[in-house]
Chain A
Amino acid sequence: MLEQLLKEERVILDLKSKDKESVLEELLEPLNLPEERKKLVLEALKKRESIGSTGIGKGIAIPHTRSVVLDDVYLVVGRSKEGVDFQALDGKPVHLFFLLCAPPQDPGTRYLITLGMIANIARKIIKSDEYMKIQDKREFIDYLLRMEKEE
């Protein structure tokens, strides 16, 4: 499931944004949504953040939402070398983002299952700083998939 969602064109190894709103916008870019739809997904993501940051700590954030304007489940992975102030739960800057968005209802609840997988990967990934070193998108994807399978 994760394999189908992780695509090289949806990996950003060097995010430019420094603050919450602009990083959410930058993470939405690879989806190539028309401006009107992009704005609405951004609004939904911000609403989700407003009830509690998805910056789960240790440099990782999992912004996520559902939106009526989406036709499928999408995952974008972004890395920031300098880190982004994302009002994370531990107050630390965020270096790795997993943005997941989906339509209101998706057959097989791919959205919730994928969220679970990502949360799981995040817990394993923070044990080393390897994710900061990888320089190639394909390698990055392979690393994430390896982490997913690791016990």
Chain B
Amino acid sequence: MDPILEILIALGDIDAMIRDAESPEYKELGLTEDEDPIEKLKKLREECASKLPPNILKRYEKLKKKYGRGIAPVVGGICTNCFIHLPTSLVTRPDKNKKLETCPNCGIYVYWTK
């Protein structure tokens, strides 16, 4: 796997955790006794983001501002951010996840789940 992609996945996972931790539905569950899980997550996020090349981080943050996320899984050939079917030429390529890629439609960084 592309090493930058691996960091982007970790960052995407942390951002999803922050989004949950901030949601009233999640808070209601009372699954964490910690007073400030969001602060801890933000620290983890900082650590993770600092490992990215500045231009990629900048792009990720821009995407996150626009869509609420900077990376999305492709499931069954469909980008789960914009729900468009990616071109067959991309879907059938054998070197998926070996280099950093973006959705040709919405521009989000993608991870191929298959």
Cα(A70)–Cα(B12), bound, Å:
12
Within 8 A of B (CB), among A11-39: 36-37
Identify which of A44, A64, A71, A104 gathers the most chain B CB atoms within 10 Å of its CB: A104
Docked Cα-Cα span, A109 to B16, in Å, equals: 13
The answer, yes or no, to whether A89 is at the interface (CB within 8 Å) is yes
Q: Count A-side interface residues using an 8 Å CB cutoff.
A: 31
> Contacts A51-B41, A105-B80; is A43 near B10 (CB within 8 Å)?
yes
A42 to chain B, nearest CB (A): 11
Q: 7 closest A-B pairs (Cβ-Cβ)?
A: A52-B34, A66-B16, A71-B113, A52-B32, A104-B16, A51-B40, A44-B13
| A interface residues with partner B (beta carbon < 8 Å) | 36-37, 40, 43-44, 47-48, 50-52, 54, 56, 62, 64-72, 89, 103-105, 109, 112, 115-116, 119
